[in-house]
Structure 1
């Protein structure tokens, strides 16, 4: 390695853009991982346990709200969880109507 003279002084490089990029990556990871967990919980409860669709939906919604509070997620998270529960309820009613 070359160890010649250098103008570099530790701690003087501006890191604001790297800080915001890393913060965005962390937010994406937290929100994305949490949403995957909530989305996968519903079919796991419906198909792998003896629960029907409505108790599974309630458990999934409560889990999503608790997860949002525990991770201090913003209001968009709670709106997404409620919207997902409404969507799942409509789809479950449609599938139940078709199956009978």
Structure 2
């Protein structure tokens, strides 16, 4: 049994693809956490305007995507998060105007 083994002849394609997928998922989650925490920190801890911090965080997200060589789906996600944040901010301001009278 042990005599049949030859070093370097095992097919490791499935292990390699699993590991590559794990690394890509880890990078995605890490970058999403960085972008989210940066936005929340700028708005709530620093007291920066929500629109300025949203634009700044979108720029940081694009730069992080360029640095880590992310695919197009990363930039679509950053754009989607920007639009989502924009809509939530505008709705929040609209409701605060109506509540304030």
Do Structure 1 and Structure 2 share a fold, with TM-score over 0.5? yes
In 2: Cα distance, 1:50 partner to 1:16 partner: 50
Cα offset, 1:5, TM superposition: 5.1
Count of matched residue positions in the alignment of Structure 1 and Structure 2: 97
In 1: Cα distance, 2:28 partner to 2:47 partner: 29
Gaps of 5+ in 1: none
Choose between structure 1 and 2: higher helix proportion: 2
Cα offset, 1:37, TM superposition: 1.2
In 2: Cα distance, 1:92 partner to 1:59 partner: 15
Instruction: Find the counterpart in structure 2 of residue 72 from structure 1.
Output: 69
Pair 1:53 & 2:50 matched: yes
Question: Using a 3 Å threshold, how does the CA distance of structure 1 residues 21 and 40 change in structure 2: closer, same or farther?
Answer: same
In 2: Cα distance, 1:22 partner to 1:54 partner: 38
Pair 1:32 & 2:29 matched: yes
Gaps of 5+ in 2: none
Cα offset, 1:32, TM superposition: 1.3
Q: Point out 4+ residue stretches in structure 1 off by more than 2 angstroms.
A: none
In 1: Cα distance, 2:82 partner to 2:57 partner: 8
TM-score by length of 1: 0.89
